[in-house]
Structure 1
Amino acid sequence: MAETTRAQRFFEMKRQGKPIVMLTAYDAPTAAAEWQAGVDILLVGDSVGTNILGYASEREVTLNDICHHTRAVRRGAPEAFILSDLPYKTYETPEAALTHARSLVEAGADMVKFEGARPAIVEALVAAKIDVCCHIGLEPQHHEDKRVKGRSAADAAALIDAALALDKAGMSMLILELVPEEVAGKITSRVTAPSIGIGAGRKTDGQVLVVTDLLGTTGNNFRHNKRYAEAGILQDNAYRTYVEDVRRGAFPAEANLFHMSEEELAIFMSEAT
């Protein structure tokens, strides 16, 4: 871990057994609301591609996309801790990872994240005093098959080996996605860095969800997710009601209007004719 960074707080939370709360954020209003609600880490994830930008895959997300949304999140929550994803193919070498990570930091990220067991990239970023979150298990940028990873003993052992290598390299955090609870618990107990689970059970040091999944604003739902609202239904109803009101002349109403004073109106009408 880079020296004396804001990430130190999460190591302390792990030691104290205090759960870490992470949630994706892609825009300023959402970031402000999440921060005020007490979310510990705002994740500008590559999930912005499929949930906000209309891309078919996380692989289409560009560095400019993540920088753009990181800036928006930083404007909405100036004091928040922000974690931003390095997009697909932007960290093929330590040199490339460092160049692109610096762009994310300049955009407002406190920490950057990449997928896979690549200790050399962790070492390069940490040497440049950039905090790193690693991501193993299901890797959305690299795995076509969106299924649970580490179900077999051999695959679970490989995940543990990867986590230990990344921890030794100096990562500041580890996301475990779609892995059995038993495996996530074993990894959490063996690494120094705090772990964050998504579909990884109850034994990680924290949890993360995608905000659009949590709110129910898309049609997708997943076993690992819990919908805390049905905002999509509320939005649909609001849109339909607005259309109906405009078409029947109910909007705008008197309460939505602005008028000239009688004196100015008289002058205007006389000059207009």
Structure 2
Amino acid sequence: MKFEDDIRQKKGKEKIVVLTAYDYQIAKILDDGPIDMILVGDSLGMVFQGQNNTKQVTMKNMIYHTKAVARGARRIPIITDMPVGSYHTPESAEENARLFLEAGAHGVKVEGNKPETIKGLADSGIPVMGHVGLLPQTAEVYKVQGKDPKEAERLLQGALEIDRSGVFTMVLECIPEKLAKRITENVNVPTIGIGAGKFCDGQVLVINDMLGLGDGFTPKFLKKYANLNKTIKEALDEFSHEVRIGAYPDDEHTYH
């Protein structure tokens, strides 16, 4: 069975777990865990490059990180974000998507209502993850989408259109729980929420955020399952202290 068919069959039956990864070591850990998909997100622009948004991320960046993740993840399907400027036309989308497949991805994610592009990719045999709601590649302000009834209806219709276009799943980002439930009940493919409530078919988080690695803005939907900031700082303090007092390296960590 193709991985995308396996994901589709989970809809309404089994919650889908997705996390981002950008490097070999994290990907290897995720590959040994209870994860359904890895997303090589263009969020690397913020968590790896220190940018304010995802708009400066390039194809070269995404290929580099996809290759690194693919070396670590041998079991779990990898989905790579198509960055800004990589899918303006169906032709460029297919050309660039194939570069990601060559780098080790199993599918790609396309932001927004791009039915012609999505259909072209899907018809070419390239699995596509859709993305509805807050679209970081074009958003000027990060805020909840779809609170207004007209906006909610627009997002619902957009979700239905990309569903018909051939996505195997779609991300719902930063929309009210009620709207996410409505979309989930009306599309044929599983929905993966990030700030979209509990009625989605699955959830995705940025790995750095859920591990508590970073001191930036914390959105309401983010739950931190660890505090790696604290762990790393404590390790740094202990290492520097032992070096300065001559306790490291001790005999156990010295060649003789």
Does the alignment pair 1:152 with 2:148? yes
Partner of 1:236: 233
Does the alignment pair 1:106 with 2:78? no
TM superposition score normalised by structure 2:
0.97
Question: Quick one: distance in 2 between partners of 1:148 and 1:214?
Answer: 20
Question: Quick one: distance in 2 between partners of 1:55 and 1:196?
Answer: 25
Does the alignment pair 1:12 with 2:9? yes
Write out the 4+ residue segments of structure 1 that deviate beyond 3 Å after TM superposition.
Answer: none
Question: Quick one: distance in 1 between partners of 2:242 and 2:64?
Answer: 35
Partner of 2:48: 52
Question: Quick one: distance in 2 between partners of 1:228 and 1:107?
Answer: 31
What CA deviation, in whole Å up to 9, does each residue of 1:58-90 have, x standing for no partner? 111111111111111111111111111001111
Q: How does 1:77-92 map to 2 (within 5 A)?
A: 77-92=73-88
Partner of 1:124: 120
Specify the code of the residue in structure 1 equivalent to 2:201.
D
Q: Secondary structure at the match of 1:189?
A: helix
Q: Secondary structure at the match of 2:85?
A: coil
Partner of 2:71: 75
Contact 2:112–2:131 (CA under 8 A) maintained in structure 1: yes
Question: Quick one: distance in 1 between partners of 2:150 and 2:142?
Answer: 19
Q: Secondary structure at the match of 1:58?
A: coil
Partner of 2:36: 40
Question: Quick one: distance in 2 between partners of 1:84 and 1:160?
Answer: 24
Specify the code of the residue in structure 2 equivalent to 1:5.
K
Question: Quick one: distance in 1 between partners of 2:164 and 2:73?
Answer: 32
Q: Secondary structure at the match of 1:83?
A: strand
Specify the code of the residue in structure 1 equivalent to 2:221.
H
Does the alignment pair 1:208 with 2:204? yes
What CA deviation, in whole Å up to 9, does each residue of 1:124-145 have, x standing for no partner? 1012100101111000111011
Q: Secondary structure at the match of 2:3?
A: coil
What CA deviation, in whole Å up to 9, does each residue of 1:239-263 have, x standing for no partner? 122122212211111111001xxxx
Contact 1:59–1:141 (CA under 8 A) maintained in structure 2: yes
Partner of 1:265: none
Q: Secondary structure at the match of 1:14?
A: coil
Partner of 1:253: 250
Question: Quick one: distance in 2 between partners of 1:59 and 1:240?
Answer: 36
Contact 2:110–2:118 (CA under 8 A) maintained in structure 1: no
Q: Using the aligned pairs only, state the percent identity.
A: 38
Question: Quick one: distance in 1 between partners of 2:154 and 2:219?
Answer: 26
Question: Quick one: distance in 2 between partners of 1:49 and 1:250?
Answer: 39
Specify the code of the residue in structure 2 equivalent to 1:190.
N
Question: Quick one: distance in 1 between partners of 2:105 and 2:229?
Answer: 29
Partner of residue 167 from structure 1, selected from 160, 163, 170: 163
What CA deviation, in whole Å up to 9, does each residue of 1:28-50 have, x standing for no partner? 11112122121111110011110
Partner of 2:130: 134
Which ranges of structure 2 fall in alignment gaps of 5 or more residues?
none
- The aligned length equals 255
Shift of 1:226: 0.5
Larger Rg: 1
What CA deviation, in whole Å up to 9, does each residue of 1:109-165 have, x standing for no partner? 111001110100011101210010111100011101100000011000000100111
